[in-house]
Amino acid sequence: MSNVFIGAKEYFPGIGKIPFEGRDSDNPLAFKIYDANKRIGDKTMAEHLRFAVAYWHSFCGNGADPFGPGTRAYPWDVASDPLARAEARADAAFEFFTKLGVPYYCFHDVDLAPDAEDIGEYERNLKHMVAIARQRQADTGLKLLWGTANLFSHPRYMNGAATNPDFNVVARAAVQVKAALEATVELGGENYVFWGGREGYAALVNTQMKREQDHLARFLAIARDYGRSLGFSGTFLIEPKPMEPMKHQYDFDSATVVGFLRQHGLEQDFKLNIEANHATLSGHSFDHDLQVAADAGLLGSIDANRGNPQNGWDTDQFPSDLYDTVGAMLVVLRQGGLGSGGLNFDAKVRRESSDAQDLFLAHIGGMDAFARGLEVAHALIEQSPLEQWRTQRYASFDSGAGAQFERGASSLADLYAYAAKASEPEQRSGRQEAYENLINQYLLR
Ligand code: XLS
Ligand code: NI
Ligand code: NI
C-alpha cells in the first residue's frame, strides 16, 4: 500500500491508492469496472467520465439533518481557529482525491474557506485558501471542474440572492460571486456554476415573479461579463432544481432554463449542469432532463447522484442504479461527450454511514456504476441494433413527402392531398419491450 498523503497528517490511514482489480475482486476498496486508462471507443474511461468530488458533501457535511446533529466527527474539524480547520480540511480533501484517483473536484467559496460577514475578512480567508488549493493542485495534478458561490446558506439570503426583493442583498450576493469567480479563475476552473437555491419564492402572494426573474438575468449577465474580463474562457452553468429549499425555484428544470437563457440572450455563455435528483424532483427522469438540455445544445455538465423513489426530496444518494447510468451515458455519448463538463458526485453518504471508509466505498460504487453505464451505452450505440431501430422508426421522413415536410416545404393542403391518395396508415408497433430487453441484454454481457 502506497502512503499517499498531502499535509503533515494522514486523514485516511490504512487506505492507499484505490486500485482497479476487475469484476472478480471481492475487495470493497477496489474498482471492479472503472479502469481509468481502458479505452472505450476513441477515449479512455477517465477522459469520458471526468469524475469530480464535491467538497461540501464529502468534507463539510457531517450527517446532520433537521432532526439531529452530525454522526461523523471529522479529524480535520478539530482546531478552534476556523482557518486552521479549513487548512486541515484541504489536506484531507486532497489526500482523498489522490487516493481515489479522480481528476477533478468542485467547491463553493464557503466550503473551501471560512465565511465572514465582514467583506474584507471573507475575501482574505478565500484568498488564503485559494493559494493553498493552488499549491495542492500543483502537488497532486488535481484540477478544478467548477467553482461556485454559496448564496443560500447565510440568513441574509432567506428571500433570495439575485432575486431578493431588497437590492442591498442582491449587491451583497455580488461580493461572493465576484470572489468565487476570481477563485475559480485563479485555480484554472473549467466551468463556473450557478445553483439558485433561494432564487424562487415561498409564496406567490408577496412576489413579483417577472421582476425577480429579470433581476436574475441581469445578475447572470454582469457576472458573465466580469468572469470574461478576468479571462475566464470556460462555461457558465445553471443547475436546474424545481424546489427545495424554496416552494418554487425559477430554474425549475431543463426546459425552463433553456427557455430562460434564450429569452435573455445568455445561451452563448451558459449551459446546464443537470443533477439526477433534481430532474426526478421535477417529475422527470434523469435522462429526460439530460436529453432536453442536449437537444438544445446546452448540456454542459452533470451532478451525479440519485434520489429515492419513496422520498419526495433531494436525498443526494450516490448513484448505483445501472439502468440510470446507461440512460445518462447514452445521451452523453450521442452528443459527443461532455466537453469541459464532467460527472461531479453531488452526493452524500447516509447519516448512518459513520466509518471513514464509507466515503471511499460511496465514490468507488458511483464511479463503477458510471463506468458500467459508459461501457453498456457505448456497446448499445456501436454494436447493438438500437440506433438503427430508432432511425428506422422515422424512415418515412427520410425521403419523398415526409422529407419535404421535414424541410418545411409542405403546406397543410399538401399533407391533405398526400393522405387522401394513401390508404389508412399501417399500424407500427413502438416495440418498447424490445428496446428494454436490448438494454438488459447488453447490461448482462
Ligand atoms: C443542491 C445543489 C448544490 C449545487 C451547488 O441541491 O445540488 O449542491 O450543486 O450549489
Ligand atoms: Ni441537489
Ligand atoms: Ni448539485
CB 158 within 8 A of CB 114: no
Regarding the beta carbon of 346 and ligand 1, being less than 6 Å apart is answered yes
Looking at every residue in the chain, the average pLDDT score rounds to: 97
Angstrom distance (rounded) from CA 407 to CA 89:
58
Regarding the beta carbon of 275 and ligand 1, being less than 6 Å apart is answered yes
- 5 pLDDT tier (thresholds 50, 70, 90): low
Q: Which of 111, 287, 324, 368 is catalytic?
A: 111
Cell of 236: 457558465
Does residue 47 surpass a pLDDT of 80? yes
CB 129 within 8 A of CB 112: yes
pLDDT one-digit tens code per residue, 202-250: 999 999 999 999 999 999 999 999 999 999 999 999 999 999 999 999 9
Predicted TM-score (pTM) of the model is 0.97
CB 389 within 8 A of CB 428: no
* 108 catalytic residue (yes or no): yes
CA of 340 to the centre of ligand 1 (A): 19
Q: Which of 48, 57, 108, 278 is catalytic?
A: 108
pLDDT one-digit tens code per residue, 110-167: 999 999 999 999 999 999 999 999 999 999 999 999 999 999 999 999 999 999 999 9
H-helix or E-strand containing 213?
helix 209-229
- Give pLDDT, residue 259: 98
Q: What is the residue with the minimal CA distance to atom 2 of ligand 1?
A: 195
Regarding the beta carbon of 182 and ligand 1, being less than 6 Å apart is answered no
Regarding the beta carbon of 282 and ligand 1, being less than 6 Å apart is answered no
- 1 pLDDT tier (thresholds 50, 70, 90): very low
Cα 159–Cα 160–Cα 165 angle in degrees, nearest 5: 70
* 111 catalytic residue (yes or no): yes
- Give pLDDT, residue 6: 66
**Among 10, 104, 112, 13, which residue's Cα sits nearest to residue 56?**
112
- Give pLDDT, residue 312: 83
pLDDT one-digit tens code per residue, 389-437: 999 999 999 999 999 999 999 999 999 999 999 999 999 999 999 999 9
CB hemisphere CA count around 380 (13 angstroms)? 29
pLDDT one-digit tens code per residue, 52-96: 999 999 999 999 999 999 999 999 999 999 999 999 999 999 999
What domains are defined for the chain? 39-382 (3.20.20.150), 386-443 (no CATH)
CA of 280 to the centre of ligand 2 (A): 11
Q: Which atom of ligand 1 is nearest to the CA of 314?
A: 6
pLDDT one-digit tens code per residue, 287-335: 999 999 999 999 999 999 999 989 888 999 999 999 999 999 999 999 9
Does residue 2 surpass a pLDDT of 80? no
Regarding the beta carbon of 194 and ligand 1, being less than 6 Å apart is answered no
Regarding the beta carbon of 111 and ligand 1, being less than 6 Å apart is answered no
Cell of 34: 472503472
